[in-house]
């Protein structure tokens, strides 16, 4: 089974690129982030026409997540609330950032982690609190669904190998100690970074800033991830980043990341 994650930075703007990529790379599951469209306006039919089942959770102009799968998925839910309840979650599910479902024996959790804007800001605090909530969510679900693939745009570079110039961004957003610690605590629940199972060296990125020739100079960050529960690690065959769509005119600033299980 091939599972891809891709922050498309607006599905309506990248619709033809995503469809063309799927024709060339007919993955079993595609998880999208930053779809930026309410559910009633989501362009579902083109994906149905090429054989995908569609599960969406969106909002206008911001955020939004979706899962497309060749086989129907079971137990679909969105947000933290179905598992953790409204008292704990509060207003965090107002932003559409999480969708999950089961295919075969694997539960896939598709995430769009908040960016955080800048260290010390209100949005940064929101991001850290969101990650704490995610930790509680995963604690609650991992015993019920031991075969987990948690994927998406995490907006965190796990370590300095994952940034083109780590000294320049030391303690900055997406690389601050608190963000990395929050991610490490999630991993310690019983997950492994699928990409690092197969590739240890630096210089491999999934996001490049549109500004300052980020892509042409390979000034990127690896912030899009697949985390596999330990029961899935031995079943993983590969994990790769496909930079091809980033070379297109008017691309998303992210590239797809594909894990094969």
Contact between 241 and 203 (Cβ < 8 Å): no
Q: Is 153 a catalytic residue?
A: yes
User: Quick one: tokens of 5?
Assistant: 């994650």
Sign of torsion over alpha carbons 75, 81, 83, 86: negative
Q: How far apart are CA 54 and CA 31, in angstroms?
A: 10
Q: Is 160 a catalytic residue?
A: no
In what helix (H) or strand (E) does residue 108 lie, and over which residues does it extend?
A: strand 106-112
Find the catalytic residue in 28, 93, 153, 162: 153
Sign of torsion over alpha carbons 120, 126, 130, 136: positive
Q: How far apart are CA 83 and CA 140, in angstroms?
A: 8
Vertex 95 angle, CA 102 and 140, to 5°: 45
Q: How far apart are CA 101 and CA 16, in angstroms?
A: 25
Find the catalytic residue in 52, 55, 112, 227: 112
Q: Where in the sequence numbering do the catalytic residues fall?
A: 112, 153
């Amino acid at each position: 089974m091939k599972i891809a994650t891709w922050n498309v930075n607006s599905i309506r703007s990248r619709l033809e690129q995503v469809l063309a990529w799927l024709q060339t790379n007919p993955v079993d599951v595609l998880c999208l982030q930053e779809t930026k469209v309410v559910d009633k306006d989501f362009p579902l039919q083109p994906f149905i026409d090429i054989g995908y089942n569609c599960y969406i959770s969106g909002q206008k102009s911001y955020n939004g997540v979706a899962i497309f799968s060749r086989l129907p998925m079971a137990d679909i839910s969105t947000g933290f609330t179905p598992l953790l309840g409204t008292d704990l979650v509060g207003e965090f599910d107002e932003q559409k950032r999480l969708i999950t479902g089961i295919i075969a024996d694997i539960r896939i959790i598709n995430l769009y982690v908040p960016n955080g804007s800048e260290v010390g800001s209100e949005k940064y605090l929101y991001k850290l609190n969101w990650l704490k909530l995610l930790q509680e969510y995963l604690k609650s679900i991992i015993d019920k669904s031991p075969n987990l693939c948690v994927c998406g745009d995490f907006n965190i570079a796990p370590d300095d190998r994952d940034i083109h110039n780590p000294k320049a961004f030391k303690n900055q957003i997406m690389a601050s100690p608190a963000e990395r610690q929050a991610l490490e605590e999630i991993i310690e629940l019983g997950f492994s970074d699928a990409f690092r199972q197969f590739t240890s060296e630096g210089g491999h990125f999934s996001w490049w800033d549109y500004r300052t020739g980020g892509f042409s100079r390979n000034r990127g960050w690896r912030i899009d991830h697949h985390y596999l529960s330990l029961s899935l690690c031995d079943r993983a065959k590969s994990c790769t980043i496909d930079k091809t769509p980033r070379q297109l005119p008017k691309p998303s600033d992210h590239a797809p990341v594909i894990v094969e299980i």
